[in-house]
Amino acid sequence: QVHLVESGGGLVQPGGSLRLSCAASGITLDYSAIGWFRQAPGKEREGVSCISLSDGSTYYTNSLKGRFTISRDNGKNTVYLQMNRLKPEDTAVYYCATAWIVPGGLGCHPEYDYWGQGTQVTVSS
Helix (H, G, I), strand (E, B) or coil at 68: strand
C-alpha span between 121 and 45 (Å, rounded): 14
Q: What is the mean pLDDT of each run of 10 residues along the chain (125 residues)?
A: 94 98 84 92 94 90 90 85 97 96 89 94 97
C-alpha span between 19 and 80 (Å, rounded): 7
pLDDT of residue 76: 66
C-alpha span between 36 and 94 (Å, rounded): 7
First vs last Cα of the chain: how many Å apart?
Answer: 40
Question: What length is written for the chain?
Answer: 125
Helix (H, G, I), strand (E, B) or coil at 31: coil
C-alpha span between 116 and 105 (Å, rounded): 24
